[in-house]
Amino acid sequence: MYISQEEMAGFDTYKYNSIDTSPLSNYVMHPFWNQCVKLVPRWVAPNLLTFSGFMLLVLQTAVLIYFDPFWLATASEYPEYPSIPTWVWWLCFSTQFLSHTLDGIDGKQARRTGSSSPMGELFDHGIDSWCVSMFAFGIYSLFGRGEFGTTVWHFYFILWMLMTCFLLSHWEKYNTGILYLPWSYDFSQVAMAVSYLVAAIFGTGIWSRDIFGWRCSTYFLIVTYGSGLCYSIPVSFYNVYKSYSDKTGKMRSTYEALAPLFSSFILFCVTTYWAIYSPGNVLQHYPRWFLTVVGTVLSNIVCRLIVSQMSSCRCQSFNFFIVPVFAVAAISLLTKDAAVEALCVKILAIGLVLLHVHYGCLVVDQLADHLGIKVFSIASAKKKHGD
């Protein structure tokens, strides 16, 4: 059982509280989603919309893995690799647009059908935590690793930047009680869809062109690092500080307030050290496997944080998904055998994905049973709430 009785009790009194000041979200996306949700039959469960959007991203990722397993297909420095077919970019545009739309209307469908529940928010945000990695992987295929200086270190740090911003938004809520929806989320979603559309119409070569002496990929790096380091991360820490100075936050001790961040810091140290001293240069030769490990563990850290903040319970300071990562890193560094490392990182990635899926399924099943509802059925939700 992944959710304790104390956490279960906390969900019974949970109330959603968020602030969204994004002009794109308030003046463009929400009016658009308000019209889109009217096209959805009332018998369709909100969680089904959420899960459908997730599966569209899984499809997108699977297709890109098939055509571009090492993120080399669109890199001008590697012309020997077959290019990605144009129809794939049309698929990426469609799946990105539809996934974002479904993610935007699931909550509206819940309110429209009277089927809102804490499980809906947990289901939605938990899935979003894994989608962040898929967003990053899609963008990597769009630019290709050659555009980043023939290394994948930027891929590694971009994934960390995106996941850190997502983690901090929920850490922020854990300490303030309010989810401050970041401006960057909708902007990035729209930008990705437009980028895929441009690639479908004009080809990926357009992203290799220089604009004012810099390649498009350079602007992408500047925007990604800049928005995270100069806006999202400082704002999250400021909002937590402000809530404590105004005494409107949870008023935990410094250790308890920072505890949810310890696991991600440990993971960063372990994986960075492993990547630097890897005997087989695992990040260079097996980037998808390695980054899947990082993204999956971070998603699990975020999911457990979401459970803690929604139930108003103490968040664990150490995530045990880190143990197998540390073990494989140690085996790789001690044996200094590239073949052993390659096999181990693949087994690790697959094992962590299966463990994370198992965690997600059991958590949702536990909470649904506790609330007396079914994950993909509105009828049960109405019965529970007396509708």
* Residue 183: pLDDT over 70: yes
**How would you label 304-337 residue by residue, b for 16+ Cβ within 10 Å and e otherwise?**
bbbbbbbbbbebbeebebbebbeebbeebeeeee
Separation CA 203–CA 292 (nearest Å): 27
pLDDT at 381: 43
For 210-254, what is each residue's pLDDT tens digit? Answer: 777 777 777 788 888 888 898 899 999 999 999 999 999 899 999
Say which amino acid occupies 382. K
Separation CA 206–CA 170 (nearest Å): 36
For 315-370, what is each residue's pLDDT tens digit? Answer: 989 999 999 999 999 999 999 999 999 999 999 999 999 999 999 999 999 999 98
Entry pTM: 0.93
pLDDT at 344: 97
Q: Evaluate whether 147 touches 217 at the Cβ level (below 8 Å).
A: yes
* Residue 385: pLDDT over 50: no
Q: Please report which helix (H) or strand (E) contains residue 292, including its range.
A: helix 287-311
Mean pLDDT of the chain: 90
pLDDT at 379: 63
CB-count burial class (<10 Å; 0-12, 13-18, 19+) for 346:
middle
Q: Give me the helix-helix angle, 118-143 and 183-202, nearest 10°.
A: 40
pLDDT at 78: 64
Separation CA 112–CA 115 (nearest Å): 8
**How would you label 279-288 residue by residue, b for 16+ Cβ within 10 Å and e otherwise?**
bbebbbbbbb
More confident residue, 197 or 76: 197
Is 315 in a helix, a strand, or coil? coil
According to DSSP, the residues that pair with 374 across neighbouring strands are 377
For 12-54, what is each residue's pLDDT tens digit? Answer: 888 888 888 889 999 999 999 999 999 999 999 999 999 999 9
pLDDT at 148: 46
pLDDT band at 75 (very low <50, low <70, confident <90, very high): low
The CB density around residue 227, as the number of other CB atoms within 10 Å, is: 18
Is 20 in a helix, a strand, or coil? coil
pLDDT at 210: 73
Separation CA 380–CA 387 (nearest Å): 10
Q: Spell out the domain ranges in the chain.
A: 42-384
For 78-135, what is each residue's pLDDT tens digit? Answer: 667 788 899 999 999 999 999 999 999 999 999 998 888 888 899 999 999 999 999 9
